[in-house]
Structure 1
């Protein structure tokens, strides 16, 4: 379309983000956040389907059904689980997802028991300087060296069990969100609720503007990304392109910035699709969307899960620039705005290749990375074997 910009409801984005953050959703405990997201889609008049466990596949009808595209963000977050009812009246825990116990220490949390909820605090094994002196600074940092003090009268394992606490209970840490006047947004679990809010806002822009994408678009909301399986479900054969929206890592040695959207070129699962990635870069450049390119060495997303599940689709990853991933994360309104704009423009763009509407086909219409005219032979090519010989080898003797 020739339209230069799509009106985006940034108030809706921030309000939706805060509402999402208020709903606990560690992996395995995502029913409530799935219900909330389904409610948002219903309010916008967007049809959707849910898998058995609660992943959501919505549909924005396009001018043509194929080659369809998916845009995915994950509803699940990190968390913890009770692994031991300890004799001292505290709980031993293990993480849900991959994160450091350093960022659990001191965190307030809710334990979801079979019968209700119990509040508590995650603490190191040695907490009081008045009791342990310098030992509180020298104790190791690991999940084996933290425990949860629940806010019930408990001095023994029996007391904990009487309060309804059991091994396998899920824990959600308080997100503690804060939106600063200068635009910074700080919270646990911006990964990936900020991207979910951005995707819902892009969907709202389409519905509010009565826009029709060139091809069918399927917003996907997954529930197990933090443990690796993510978008392995809810896809179907018509989907040819999949764009993952997730957190992007601002850190020393990275090119990501907290005030921009990042277009990831490669993560630990390998390079993303060349053509889809360059398409996103082209959109960002054309519409002056603040963006960075980056490579993430210790990172995987819904895209990896989709490909590993056997889906032959083009994949790409874009993210909101953020500091301190899987800890107290921080991003900026500008990054969320850039992510939402790039998502909306991509949603309304033509597919990478019309040929992609079929899973198998001929060479006709196949993409090109290096055209024949680019494959120029150097003016001084490297010598071939034998070029250094200055005599006839059949004559015998050594070459000069």
Structure 2
């Protein structure tokens, strides 16, 4: 199929550059809705703020639903220290060392934004010596140093910063000449871009779907309840499009679509996994099957909530997950191809 890389890259870069830590996703959801409006695609919005697109198929009684999540890792202001720095609490699960030295933006309740840098409380070996080397990277030992001339708690409060304000990490998004995509939050914004382009491609090419196919853009996956409610009620197959995790002793790769056989929530549906694998084989889609022992997904959340559905998990291979991540456009295109091709199969 003739996919437009420029369109995919536009979605990818745009989505990655809109801050959306879990619990703070209104801006990115507006972007998603605006893009759907541009191509005249109707959608619904759930009470929790998820966006659902439904494309009618020949059979409306058996429905497929794909999901991807826009919410990302991030942090919140936990306190304002006497020296004008901010203590923080993480949103989502990540190693604190992965954000040491990272630039960030603090956004207040009234929409003001302030730049800063996340540092360990002992950031300099010239001052703290061995203590700086030995300091554990835990939330209690990390802080935000604002790019403001502040020296006290009252100085910071006068800016309008308060406990509970969101801290958004600089994504440092780069697509290299050789089509490596490097950024924070490829989990799961790469897959959101894939689903958004899939909708556009299916509609603009008038592709005939055997089953009504839904696209569920969730906004609370990182805290475990993104797809636990409000799925289209006739969903029989639920496919979470998230990420594969290449790494030590893993079968995944940054160049293929990864199909998860099992994660921390248990095995995914064997029959559905087999059908997805056959679609890859029949269409020369580069794929890998893998197991992720410390992973969960929107499909996991849907099962825990009691939905009587078959579930699967697929996604582009993303190296260094929950840190500064990397994938390749090959993985993005292979995942896109699987979503589109499987959507056309009965």
Same fold (TM over 0.5): yes
Query: Equivalent residue for 1:293?
Result: 289
Provide structure 1 residue ranges, at least 5 long, that are not aligned to the other structure. Answer: 1-5, 351-400
Q: CA deviation at 1:164?
A: 1.1
Distance 1:27 1:323 in 2: 21
Say whether residues 1:104 and 2:99 are aligned partners: yes
- Aligned partners of 2:333 and 2:218: how far apart in 1? 22
Contact 1:82 1:171 in 2 (8 A): yes
**SS in structure 1 of the partner of residue 97 of structure 2:** helix
Residue 45 of structure 1, CA deviation: 2.3
Other-structure match for 2:323: 327
Equivalence for 1:254: 250
In structure 1, the residue matched to 2:11 is 16
Distance change in 2, residues 1:203/1:236 (3 Å)? closer
> Alignment partner for residue 204 of structure 2, among 204, 208, 213?
208
Paired residue for 1:39? 34
Shift of 1:53: 2.8
CA offset digits 1:290-333 (Å, max 9, x no partner): 00000110000000111111110000000101110000000011
Residue 164 in structure 1 maps to residue 160 in structure 2: yes
CA distance in 2, matches of 1:9, 1:59: 23
**Superposition deviation, residue 132 in structure 1:** 2.1
> Residue 223 in 1 paired to residue 219 in 2?
yes
* Displacement after TM superposition at 1:99 (Å): 0.8
Aligned to 1:85: 80
Matched, 1:283 2:289: no
Q: 1:283 offset after TM fit, Å?
A: 0.2
Report SS of the residue matched to 1:17.
helix
CA radius of gyration, larger in? 1
1:263 aligns with 2:259: yes
Partner of 1:181: 177
Partner of residue 60 from structure 2, selected from 54, 65, 78: 65
Equivalent residue, structure 1, for 2:46: 51
CA contact (8 A) 1:30 1:76 kept: yes
The Cα shift of 1:52 comes to 2.1
Give TM-score, length-normalised by structure 1: 0.85
1:143-165 CA-to-partner distances (Å, cap 9, x unmatched) read 11110001122111111111111
Q: Which runs of 5+ in 2 are unaligned?
A: none
2:141 matched residue in structure 1: 145
Q: Give secondary structure in 2 for the equivalent of 1:288.
A: coil
Equivalent residue, structure 1, for 2:241: 245
Q: Distance in 2 between matches of 1:112 and 1:287?
A: 46
Instruction: Find the aligned partners of 1:78 and 1:230 in 2 and give their Cα distance.
Output: 14
Alpha-carbon separation, structure 1, partners of 2:209 and 2:93: 37
For 2:149 and 2:48, the matched residues in 1 are separated by: 36
Q: CA RMSD in A?
A: 1.0
Matched residues in 1 for 2:173 and 2:345: separation? 34
- Measured after TM superposition, the shift of residue 8 of structure 1 is 1.7
Give 1:239 deviation, angstroms: 0.7
Other structure's SS at 1:230 match: coil
The answer to whether the 8 Å contact 1:9/1:201 transfers is no
**CA-CA distance at 1:47 after TM superposition:** 1.4
Give the Cα separation in 2 of the matches to 1:314 and 1:42: 31
Cα-to-partner distance string for 1:129-188 (whole Å, 9 max, x where unaligned)? 332233321211111111000112211111111111111111100100111111211000
Matches within 5 A, 1:313-352: 313-350=309-346
- Matches of 1:233 and 1:19 in 2, distance apart? 27
